[in-house]
Amino acid sequence: MAELAKHPGNMPPQAFEEEVASPWKEAWHSFQKNRLALIGLCIVLFFIVIAAIAPYIAPYSFREQVLADRLLPPSGKHWFGTDDFGRDIFSRVVHGARISLGVGFFSVLASAIIGTFLGVVAGYYGRWVDGLISRVFDILLAFPSILLAIAIVAILGPSLRNALIAIAIINIPNFGRLVRSKVLSVKQEEYIMSAKAVGMKDRRILFRHILPNSVTPVIVQATLAIATAIIEAAALGFLGLGAQPPAPEWGRMLADSKNYLTQAPWTLFFPGMAIMLTVLGFNLMGDGLRDVLDPKMKS
């Protein structure tokens, strides 16, 4: 009897453990079957590791200028060559990973937190609260994202911090509208109705029931948004509105090398390749997460 109680339906222990496996564990097993998603994850982890150990693998300081070595091609001494100031491009690219990934992670984290909060409030309370928040989202989405980011940085002043703030602001509506639509669906579930009927407070319903059941699409959106944020940071840097010299931001490196495209193409190739691979990695990983976590994609 004890065995039957322990393993319902006289189910073998291993089968029972598989039956009650964590949904996240099942999602990971499904994710592992997607080869492109795994490639994306490996690319992302590679750049994260590079950013973490940049000071230890960079052979030179990213600020060090040796004018006698300007525009040298890739060699054993300078793996990626040198730029117009004689700075080692490999050292600048690996240090630039810290800036680009940092802007991507922190801007998306800020926009995800603010957007999720606004989306939950708008979807749960509805009426004039929903109308007000939704109109703010509509206003922000009415402008092309990069133009809005340029306008915000132009007002605040060109700097890496202000670029991060601008990127966070323009991504808030994407998270807000996504979470709002999910909350509108979840709050109609019977267990939410039952919680309200027994007098459970709104705060408890929001944080214990609605928010945990609305966070899955946020994870997918955040992964894809990091890729977009890296591109936007590079675009602002290219225009001179992001990181300022001598910071080794990839977009800024592209701007500095555009005058030497035919004379020294390696000055443009390596930072451009770093941007392309990083964005590709996050996009592949995000697509894999969407396939695993989105019920519509599963069906």
Name every residue whose Cβ is closer than 8 Å to that of residue 159 and which is 6 or more positions away in sequence. Answer: 153, 242, 243, 244
Residue whose tokens read 């700097």: 159
pLDDT in the model for residue 45:
95
Question: What does the mean pLDDT of the chain come to?
Answer: 84
The SS3 assignment for 23 reads: helix
Class at the top of the CATH hierarchy for domain 53-298 = mainly alpha
- Report the amino acid identity of residue 219: I
58-62, 202-206, 256-260: lowest mean pLDDT where? Answer: 202-206
d(CA 145, CA 161) in angstroms, rounded, equals: 18
- Predicted local distance difference test score (pLDDT) of residue 24: 63
Q: Examine the pLDDT at 223 and tell me if it is beyond 70.
A: yes
Q: Is 170's pLDDT higher than 70?
A: yes
Residue for token digits 């690319």? 43
Classified as helix, coil or strand, 82 is: strand
Residue 1: the pLDDT is 41
- Whether residue 227 contacts residue 211, with contact meaning beta carbons closer than 8 Å, is answered with no
